[in-house]
Each structure stands twice: as structure tokens, then as C-alpha cells.
């Protein structure tokens, strides 16, 4: 009887679920989010290549309005951020949070409805960006009705996760849950400010609100959810306990108090108050505190475990992502300094930096999570370890080529812009070799996407490519 | 068009204060719940076993 009551309250301990001969976790929502996000990763990857090609061959695709740079770029940005990365992170949260709480997801039906609504929003975003129905604000391009639907979907997601945490078995929450809850609250704040409040301001106030949104979309949405994933999957895939839970809490709280003030560093040397610029610089430099707390914890967790990097593909993605995270978070404070910013601001350096954060760090974490989770929730072996390894190297080679080229190109571009004797058009022509390398790096990265997406799809469909799977099948 | 700059800025200040108060409240609660005490490391060991059910499931797969 007691077990029945516990079951109806969603509090079936793992041991009880085994006795009942049933699975504690359905994972339907996680499956839906992961399948759709990986599909968008592939589709928007094609758009990314088209954009990179247009840098080198501007006449490519002619003058078809739907395929112009102005239409494709917001499609690429919104598709990658919300169609791939955030959706994959949400899918992984639906997997991780119930397990860390020792209970079922509060409502699988609500989760499925959230996945359906999220897909409707992404498809709406594809149509609206291609059609040019665009609010004209960085990261906030989507029309108002889609913004409202994002808020509704986020409330549905947040309610499900918060209620799951509320009925948890254990009082103390692992750091991943703290980051998940932080992401849900901060996203609400950041998204409402960037997509609604900013529309009612004018002039420099409007620009300032927009940059606060843009920076915190990375800092208070993708950073905490990315770290939530890394904190879960690094100990899991290496089978080693986290170095220090207390240090992870220091990282969480220092991020919570520091990150929100940094957005104005996008407007250095602009027409905003000097005190606001200085505050943004000071807090940007203070970011080194949470970053080092996080990175040290991960490296210390790996002490004595580095040999696993030879053949543990999820761990390769995770620890490479940690290195990219360290690099990008060192870059950020440095180029928020006035002297450095005078050179790199608005140049190709910035997309190099942003791609290292969103692709190099947070997408690597999400890819590792998918490689770990998909075989478990579909109860099949990964289709091919070898293909997974290929996907890692393609992403790494393409990514490093892309980031380094854009940093060097951006710095060069900045030096040229600072010399009034050089006509602007000459600085555009001079950068063509940089954009050629960028395009070919993009081909490598797209190869990584194809290998990753095919591997996951084949795993879901139950194809057997692994030697171990074949041997198991042969002996059976 | 009316300029809503000041209401927007006050709204943003209000939001900041709301989040700051929330952050301080939950930070103090985390102290009370022992996240900074001697039992603070327990969660990191427990999480390593949280998906053991998946391996049980494999054993229960029909032969």
C-alpha cells in the first residue's frame, strides 16, 4: 500500500522500480527533444555552410531574397541557439533531473506537450526568418507571437522541472540541479528583458538592454545549462566523483552574482556612461573567479583518469569543451578591457569568440551528453564508436581552424580599421583568404555534424555497427 | 511614439532587485541546508549511482 502511495506521488525509488519490473523513467520527452534538436543541428548546419560560402563568393545563390545573407544569418543564429543547443540541453535536463532527484519526471504529458510546442516555435522561426518577418534585434529577431509562445513553452518546461525537484527524494541537491534551476529563472529574466522590455525603450537605452540580453543569452542561459551538463557527465563518463562539491557551489554562486552586469562591455567607446562601461569591465574581469572554480574542479576530477581520453569519446568531447570554455572565458574579460576592445570590437574576432563558447564549449558538452544518453534511453549500443571518434576529430579540426582564423583575421581587421588611411572596402577585400579558411573549416565541422547525427540516428533505429554489438549478436 | 525608456529602466531595476533578493534568500537557505558544512560532499557520490536502473533494465530484457 505504501508503495502504491509512493508510486502515485511519483516517488518510486530505483530499487522499487526494479522489484515492480518496470522502468522508473519513461524518457519520452527527452527522446523527442533530442531527436528534434539533432535534426535541426544538421539542417541549420547546411545554412551555416551557405553563409560561409557567401563570404567567399558573394554572388552565390544570386539575388533570391529568401537566400540572402540578411535572411540566412538570423535563421542560422536562432536555429543553432534555440533549435539545436537549447533544445538538446532541455532534452538532457529531462533525462538528468529526475535521476538526480530519484523520482519520475513530474509530468511526462506536460513534457511531450512542451516538445510539440517547442518544435512548432522552431518551425515558425524558420519560416519567419526566411520570409524576413524580423524584429531587427540581435538574438531577438523572432516576431512577437513566437516570443510569446517561447515564454509559454519555458513556463511549461520550468514548471515540470521545478515540480520534479520539489518531490525529490534527497534533501541536498547535486550542483547540476542548482544550475538547472538557475537557468530556468535567469532565462525568464533575460528573455523577457531582451524580447519585450527592450522594445519599449529608445536610443542608447534600447541598445544597452539589447546587449545585456545578447551577452546574458550566452552567460545566463547557455553557460549555466552547459555547466549543469558538464557537472553531470564528466563524473559519469569518467566514473570518478567530482573533486569538490563545495567548490562547485562557490562557482555557482559567484556566477549568479557576477554575470548579469557584464553586457555593457559590448558598448565600450560608445555613447553610454563611463561608469556603466567601467562596471561592465570590472564584472567581466571578475568572471575569472567562477570560471576558474569550475575549470579547476573538472581538471581535479580527472586527476589520474586522463588515460580514459584515449577511447572514451564522450569524455573527449567534455574535456575538450572544458578547455574551450577556459579559453573563451579568458578571452571575454581580456577583450572587455578598453585598449583591447578598441581593436577587436565589431571585427571577425567576435564571431570567433562566440563560436568557441557556443560550439566549442557548450555544443561539445551537449554532444557528449547525447552520446551518453541516447544508447541508454533507447536501450541499444551506440551504432559505431569509430564514427563517434571521427565526429570528434572533424569537429575539433574544423573548430580550431575556424576559431583561430577568425581571431587572427579579426585582429588584423581591427588594426586596419584603426588606420584611417585605409579605405574600408580594402579591408573587406583583404580578408578574403581568412574567409576561405573559414569556409573549409566549416566543411570539417559539417562533416562532424553528419557523423554525429548519423551515428545517433542509427543507434535510435537499432542498427548494429559496433564490433562489440556484432560479436554479441553472433554469440546469441 | 511615446518614449517608455524610464518605465523600462525602472522595470529592469525592479527585476534586478527581485533576482538579487531571490539569490540572497536561496544562498542563505543553502547554508542552512548544509551545502557549506561537513556533509556537503555527499551528493557527488550519490549521483554516480543514480542511473543504475538502466543496467538493471538490460538484465531484465527478454532472452
Cβ atoms of residues A233 and A155 within 8 Å? no
Lowest model confidence (mean pLDDT) among A385-389, A430-434, B54-58: B54-58
Q: Give the residue carrying C-alpha cell 539589447.
A: A210
Is A239 in contact with B48 (Cβ distance < 8 A)? yes
Taking alpha carbons only, the member of B14, B5, B57 closest to residue A17 is B57
Q: Please tell me the predicted confidence (pLDDT) of residue A23.
A: 63
Q: Give dist(CA A184, CA A199) in Å, integer.
A: 22
How far is the alpha carbon of A252 from chain B, nearest alpha carbon, in Å?
Answer: 10
Cα separation, A180 vs A227, in Å, equals 9
- Asked if B12's CB is within 8 angstroms of A209's CB, the reply is yes
- At residue B53, the pLDDT reads 56
Three-state SS annotation for A327-380:
HHHHHHHHHCCHHHHHHHCCCCHHHHHHHHHHHHHHHHHHHHHHHHHHHHHCCC
Q: Which of B44, B51, B41 is nearest to A102 (CA)?
A: B51
Kindly determine whether residue B40 and residue A246, on different chains, have CB atoms separated by under 8 Å.
Answer: yes
Is A11 a residue whose pLDDT tops 50?
Answer: no
Q: Residue A344: its pLDDT value, please?
A: 93
Shortest Cα–Cα distance, A329 to chain B (Å): 23
Q: Is a pLDDT exceeding 50 seen at residue B61?
A: no
Report d(CA A436, CA A433) in Å as an integer: 5
Question: What average pLDDT does this structure show over A27-52?
Answer: 96
In a domain, A194, yes or no: no
pLDDT confidence tier of residue A343, bands split at 50, 70 and 90: very high
Check residues A344 and A3 and name the one with the higher pLDDT.
Answer: A344
Q: How many CB atoms lie within 10 A of CB A6?
A: 15
pLDDT band at A257 (very low <50, low <70, confident <90, very high): confident
- CA-to-CA dists, residue A119 to A36, A83, A139, A358, angstroms: 7, 8, 18, 21
Using an 8 Å Cβ cutoff, are A398 and A351 in contact? no
Instruction: Report in angstroms the alpha-carbon separations of A146 from A155, A186, A400, B14.
Output: 14, 19, 35, 25
pLDDT at site B40: 83
Q: Do A205 and B9 touch (CB under 8 A)?
A: yes
pTM: 0.89
Which residues have a Cβ under 8 Å from the Cβ of A37 and sit 6 or more positions away?
A: A83, A84, A85, A87, A88, A91
Quick check: B12 and A170 CB within 8 A? Answer: no
pLDDT at A234: 97
User: How many angstroms separate the CA of residue A75 from the nearest CA in chain B?
Assistant: 28
Return the residue in A188, A236, A246 with the most chain B beta carbons within 10 A, the one to mutate for interface testing: A246
* Residues of chain A numbered 232-291 and touching chain B (CB < 8 Å): 232, 235-236, 239, 241-242, 244-246, 249, 253, 256-257, 260
Residue B9 has pLDDT above 90, yes or no: no
Cβ contact B40–A241 (<8 Å)? no
Least confident of A35-39, A140-144, A258-262, A426-430: A258-262
Is residue A146 situated within a structural domain? Answer: no
- Triad A124, A149, A78: Cα angle to 5°: 50
Q: How many other CB atoms are found less than 10 A from the CB of residue A391?
A: 25
Q: What's the pLDDT score for residue A296?
A: 96
Question: What is the CATH classification number for the domain harbouring A428?
Answer: 1.20.210.10
> Any chain A CB within 8 A of the CB of B34?
yes
**pLDDT at position A7 over 50:** no
Q: Give the range of the structural domain holding residue A368, as residue numbers without chain letter.
A: 211-462
For residues A33 and A138, what is the distance between their CA atoms, to the nearest angstrom?
25
pLDDT, tens only, A420-469: 999 999 999 999 999 999 999 999 999 999 999 999 999 999 876 555 55
Query: Tens digit of pLDDT for each residue in A73-106?
Result: 999 999 999 999 999 999 999 999 999 999 999 9
For A31-57, what is the mean pLDDT?
A: 96
* Interchain pair B53, A102: CB under 8 A: no
Phi and psi of A341, rounded to 5°? -60, -35
Q: What residue has cell string 519520475?
A: A104
> Could you report the per-residue pLDDT of B17-37, keeping only the tens digit for each?
887 888 888 888 888 888 888
DSSP one-letter code for A184: H
CB B37 within 8 A of CB A278: no
A300 inside 8 A of chain B by CB? no
- Which residues of chain B does A14 touch, with a Cβ-Cβ cutoff of 8 Å? 50, 52-53, 56
Query: CA of A219: how far to CAs of A75, A181, A211, A231, A263, in Å?
Result: 21, 15, 12, 17, 9
Cβ-Cβ contacts under 8 Å, B34 against chain A: 172
Greatest CA span in chain B, whole angstroms? 72
pLDDT at residue A291 greater than cutoff 90: yes
Banded model confidence at residue B52, pLDDT cuts 50, 70, 90? low
DSSP A174: P
Number of domains in chain A: 1
Question: Please, how many CA atoms are within 13 Å of residue A206, restricted to the half-sphere of its CB?
Answer: 13
Comparing A25-29, A123-127, A264-268, which segment has the lowest mean pLDDT? Answer: A264-268
* Chain B touched by A418 (CB under 8 Å): no
Determine whether the interchain pair B43/A246 forms a contact, defined as Cβ–Cβ distance below 8 Å: no
- What pLDDT, on a 0 to 100 scale, did the predictor assign at position B2? 66
CA distance B16 to chain A (A): 9
- Measured CA to CA, the distance from residue A313 to residue A307 in angstroms comes to 12
> Does A288 reside within a domain?
yes
Residue of A nearest to B28 (CA): A253
Put simply, the answer to whether A99 touches B58 (Cβ < 8 Å) is: no
Residue A47 lies in a domain: no
Residue A89 lies in a domain: no
The DSSP symbol for A433 reads H
Å between A401 CA and nearest CA of chain B: 36
Q: Are A405 and A352 in contact (CB under 8 A)?
A: yes
List the single range of A172-176, A341-345, B23-27 with lowest mean pLDDT.
Answer: B23-27
Predicted local distance difference test score (pLDDT) of residue A13: 45
Percent of chain B's residues with pLDDT above 90: 6
Buried residues in B21-45 as b, exposed as e (16+ CB within 10 A): eebeebbeebeeeebeeeebeebbe
CA A94 to each of CA A104, A273, A417, B22: distance values in angstroms, whole numbers, following the listed order: 10, 43, 47, 24
Report the residue from A171, A232, A253 with minimal CB separation from B33.
Answer: A171
Please say if the pLDDT value at position A350 is more than 80. yes
Residue A323 pLDDT grade (very low, low, confident, very high; cuts 50, 70, 90) = very high
Q: What is the pLDDT of residues A186-242, one digit of tens each?
A: 898 889 888 888 888 888 888 888 888 898 888 889 999 999 999 999 999 999 999
Q: Does the interface ipTM go beyond 0.85?
A: no
Handedness of CA A52, A53, A58, A59 (dihedral sign): negative
What distance in Å separates the CA atoms of residue A424 and residue A128, rounded to the nearest whole number? 32
Q: Is B17 on the interface with A (CB under 8 A)?
A: no
Neighbours of A166 (CB within 10 A): 10
What is the overall mean pLDDT for chain A? 90
Inside any domain, residue A139? no
A451 with A384: CB under 8 angstroms?
A: no
Residue A145 belongs to a domain: no
Asked, for residue A360, whether it belongs to a domain, the answer is: yes
B55 vs A: CB within 8 A? no
Residue A253 to residues A344, A406, B5: CA-CA distances in angstroms?
Answer: 30, 33, 31
Across B32-56, average pLDDT: 78
pLDDT of residue A57: 93
Average pLDDT over residues A269-287: 89
Cβ contact, residue pair A256, B23, below 8 Å: yes
pLDDT, averaged across chain B: 74
Res B1: pLDDT? 56
Mean pLDDT score, A290-307: 95
Task: Tell whether the torsion through CA atoms of A210, A213, A218 and A219 is positive or negative.
Answer: positive
The pLDDT of A336-342, averaged and rounded, is 93
When pLDDT is cut at 50, 70 and 90, the band that residue A471 belongs to is very low
DSSP annotation string for A14-31: HHHHHHTTS-S---HHHH
Measure A285 CA to nearest chain B CA, in Å.
20
Q: What is the CA radius of gyration of chain B?
A: 23
Chain A contact present for B15, CB below 8 A: yes
Q: Which residue of B has its CA nearest to A12?
A: B53
A200 close to B (CB below 8 A): yes
| End-to-end Cα spacing for chain A | 40
Amino acid at each position: 500500500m505504501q508503495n502504491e502511495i509512493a508510486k502515485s506521488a511519483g516517488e518510486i525509488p530505483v530499487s522499487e522500480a526494479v522489484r515492480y519490473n518496470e522502468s522508473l523513467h519513461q524518457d519520452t520527452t527527452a527522446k523527442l527533444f533530442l531527436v528534434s534538436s539533432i535534426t535541426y543541428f544538421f539542417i541549420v548546419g547546411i545554412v551555416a555552410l551557405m553563409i560561409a560560402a557567401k563570404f567567399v563568393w558573394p554572388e552565390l545563390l544570386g539575388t533570391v531574397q529568401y537566400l540572402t545573407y540578411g535572411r540566412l544569418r538570423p535563421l542560422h543564429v536562432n536555429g543553432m541557439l534555440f533549435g539545436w543547443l537549447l533544445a538538446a540541453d532541455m532534452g538532457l535536463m529531462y533525462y538528468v533531473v529526475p535521476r538526480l532527484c530519484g523520482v519520475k519526471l513530474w509530468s511526462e504529458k506536460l513534457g511531450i506537450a512542451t516538445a510539440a510546442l517547442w518544435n512548432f516555435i522552431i518551425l515558425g522561426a524558420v519560416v519567419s526568418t526566411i520570409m524576413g518577418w524580423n524584429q531587427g534585434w540581435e538574438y531577438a529577431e523572432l516576431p512577437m507571437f513566437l516570443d510569446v509562445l517561447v515564454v509559454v513553452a519555458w513556463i511549461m518546461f520550468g514548471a515540470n522541472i521545478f515540480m520534479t525537484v520539489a518531490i525529490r527524494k534527497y534533501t541536498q541537491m547535486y550542483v547540476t540541479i542548482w544550475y538547472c534551476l538557475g537557468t530556468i529563472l535567469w532565462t525568464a529574466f533575460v528573455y523577457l528583458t531582451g524580447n519585450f522590455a527592450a522594445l519599449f525603450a529608445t536610443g542608447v537605452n534600447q541598445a544597452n538592454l539589447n546587449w545585456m540580453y545578447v551577452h546574458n543569452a550566452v552567460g545566463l542561459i547557455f553557460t549555466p545549462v552547459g555547466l549543469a551538463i558538464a557537472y553531470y557527465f564528466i563524473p559519469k563518463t569518467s566514473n570518478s566523483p567530482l573533486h569538490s562539491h563545495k567548490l562547485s557551489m562557490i562557482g555557482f554562486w559567484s556566477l549568479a552574482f557576477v554575470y548579469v552586469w557584464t553586457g555593457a562591455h559590448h558598448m565600450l567607446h560608445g555613447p553610454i556612461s563611463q561608469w556603466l562601461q567601467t562596471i561592465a569591465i570590472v564584472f567581466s574581469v571578475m568572471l575569472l573567479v567562477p570560471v576558474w572554480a569550475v575549470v579547476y574542479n573538472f581538471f581535479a576530477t580527472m586527476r589520474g583518469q586522463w588515460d580514459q581520453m584515449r577511447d572514451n569519446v564522450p569524455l573527449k568531447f567534455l574535456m575538450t569543451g572544458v578547455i574551450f570554455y577556459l579559453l573563451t572565458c579568458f578571452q571575454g574579460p581580456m577583450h572587455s578591457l578598453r585598449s583591447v576592445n578598441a581593436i577587436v570590437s565589431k571585427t571577425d574576432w567576435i564571431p570567433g569568440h562566440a563560436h568557441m563558447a557556443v560550439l566549442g564549449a557548450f555544443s561539445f558538452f551537449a554532444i557528449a551528453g547525447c552520446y551518453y544518453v541516447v544508447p541508454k534511453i533507447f536501450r541499444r549500443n551506440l551504432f559505431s564508436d569509430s564514427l563517434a571518434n571521427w565526429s570528434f576529430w572533424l569537429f575539433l579540426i574544423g573548430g580550431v581552424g575556424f576559431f583561430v582564423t577568425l581571431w587572427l583575421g579579426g585582429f588584423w581587421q581591427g588594426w586596419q580599421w584603426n588606420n584611417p588611411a585605409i579605405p574600408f572596402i580594402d579591408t573587406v577585400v583583404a580578408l578574403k583568404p581568412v574567409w576561405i579558411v573559414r569556409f573549409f573549416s566549416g566543411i570539417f565541422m559539417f562533416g562532424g555534424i553528419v557523423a554525429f547525427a548519423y551515428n545517433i540516428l542509427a543507434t535510435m533505429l537499432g542498427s548494429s555497427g559496433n564490433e562489440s554489438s556484432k560479436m554479441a549478436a553472433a554469440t546469441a | 511614439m511615446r518614449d517608455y525608456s524610464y518605465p523600462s529602466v525602472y522595470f529592469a531595476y525592479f527585476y534586478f532587485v527581485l533576482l538579487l533578493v531571490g539569490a540572497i534568500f536561496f544562498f542563505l537557505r543553502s547554508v542552512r541546508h548544509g551545502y557549506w558544512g561537513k556533509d556537503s560532499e555527499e551528493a557527488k557520490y550519490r549521483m554516480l549511482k543514480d542511473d543504475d536502473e538502466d543496467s538493471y533494465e538490460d538484465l531484465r530484457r527478454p532472452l
